[in-house]
Amino acid sequence: MAKNKLGIIVGSNRRESINRKLAQALARLGGDAFEARFIPIDDLPIYNQDNEQPLPGTVARFKAEVEAADALLFVTPEHNRSIPAVLKNAIDWGGRPYGKSSWPGKPAAVTGTSGGAISTAVAQQHLSAVLANQGLHLMGGEAYIRFTPDLIDAQAQVTDENVRTFLKSFINQFATFAGKLAPQRAAAAA
């Protein structure tokens, strides 16, 4: 059976992003269940309603990639106790033009990492609220990952066994969640 297509959106445009490293590790851990594809957001212009007609090429590409995904994994940093602007910008574009949102009905999971004590918990709460507003189906649970310099190696392997086990269970749980929603999504598309 074909694997579910997982679109991964990393809420950082930083070259050495620790959240991209976490996302790569999750893509690897979920390799049995998902065919993962990263959906870039760093080339999107700043949202402006004046520029919706026609949609900029990068935005059309972004929306098509979101729409092609069976499920979406958001891996986000926390900026000033909220969502990074680059991620909010992508979500805003994805929801436009009015009536042509790319988000409704997509199964989604949220996680993120920072070196801070509460490891993106506040950003994840803000993100979950925004995604629920856009009509995505969010998996419950919490995955706040505290980053340490050697947590993920150059091969995207999680070096800490407890964290690896936790992340494997998180991504497997998401595969089950997305699978349960698949018939509902197929019926809605028919």
Ligand X SMILES: Cc1cc2nc3c(=O)[nH]c(=O)nc-3n(C[C@H](O)[C@H](O)[C@H](O)COP(=O)(O)O)c2cc1C
Interface region with ligand X, contact rule CB under 6 A, candidates 43-51, 54-62, 74-82, 92-100: 74-82
Residues forming beta bridges with residue 4, ordered by sequence position: 34
Nearer to ligand X, 11 or 95 (CB): 11
Residue numbers 119-178 binding ligand X by CB under 6 A: 120
Rule CB under 6 A: is residue 100 a binding residue for ligand X?
no
Interface region with ligand X, contact rule CB under 6 A, candidates 38-46, 66-74, 76-84, 164-172: 76-84
Rule CB under 6 A: is residue 79 a binding residue for ligand X?
yes
Q: How far is the CB of 21 from ligand X (least distance, A)?
A: 8
Residues forming beta bridges with residue 71, ordered by sequence position: 6
Nearer to ligand X, 55 or 122 (CB): 122
Q: Pick the binder of ligand X from 12, 102, 111, 124 (CB under 6 A).
A: 12
Q: How far is the CB of 59 from ligand X (least distance, A)?
A: 22
Q: How far is the CB of 147 from ligand X (least distance, A)?
A: 7
Instruction: Please tell me the count of residues contacting ligand X according to CB under 6 A.
Output: 13
Interface region with ligand X, contact rule CB under 6 A, candidates 11-19, 27-35, 64-72, 103-111: 11-19
Classify the phi-psi angles of 158: left when phi > 0, otherwise alpha if psi is within -120 to 50, otherwise beta: beta
Residues in Cβ contact with 4 at an 8 Å cutoff, skipping those fewer than 6 apart: 33, 34, 35, 70, 71, 175, 178, 179, 182
Rule CB under 6 A: is residue 24 a binding residue for ligand X?
no
Residues in Cβ contact with 43 at an 8 Å cutoff, skipping those fewer than 6 apart: 58
Classify the phi-psi angles of 81: left when phi > 0, otherwise alpha if psi is within -120 to 50, otherwise beta: left
Q: How far is the CB of 149 from ligand X (least distance, A)?
A: 11
Residues that bind ligand X (CB under 6 A): 12, 14, 17-19, 77-81, 114, 116, 120
